[in-house]
Amino acid sequence: MVLEQEAVLTTFAEVSATISGFAGVAVVLRRSSGDDRLVDDNALIHLLASTLSVAALAMIPLMAQSLFSEPATLWRFCAPLLGAIHLFGAWRGTRDVARAALTLSRPLVVGFAATSSGIFVACVAIAAGALTALAPAIYLVGLFVSLSVAVAVVLPLLLRSDP
């Protein structure tokens, strides 16, 4: 079996690795001291967690497809992993913004957290055997949302003017 989404999954893995590498270097070069240090460190954690999880989650279906004869079973296996990542990311992002340890605005974090919660619920439904026809689309949307989080986190750091 060859997944119809193979090219898209591979592209997600490549884009996430590129964003991670480029933004990681840029953040380290612009590293601040004092009060902004915690914010920069948390931004780097969110950036790396988002991009590296996308790279891993994009590769897992490609590597696991030989284990399953039916695509629906493959997505039922992979969806809970994506859902767990989104649930953890929503919790961590909300916590860090509440602590003023992240530069994202509250409305943006609420939007990401709500979207991630919806993705989590959809992934639970897929794992239970429902929504299997929509599973590839939900999975790809989940990867896209994670990459969007990475970009949203790193942009304020890259665009910040030095005092």
The pLDDT tens digits for 72-109 are 999 999 999 999 999 999 999 898 888 887 778 889 99
- Give the pLDDT confidence score for residue 4 in this predicted structure: 86
- Give the pLDDT confidence score for residue 135 in this predicted structure: 95
pLDDT bracket for residue 43 (50, 70, 90): confident
The pLDDT tens digits for 125-156 are 999 999 999 999 999 999 999 999 988 887 87
Q: What mean pLDDT value characterizes the chain?
A: 86
- Give the pLDDT confidence score for residue 33 in this predicted structure: 57
- Count of CA atoms in the C-beta half-sphere (13 A) of 151: 9
Q: Are 80 and 124 in contact (CB under 8 A)?
A: yes
Q: Coil, strand or helix: which one is 22?
A: helix
Q: What ranges in the chain are assigned the alpha helix state H?
A: 6-29, 35-64, 71-98, 106-127, 135-159
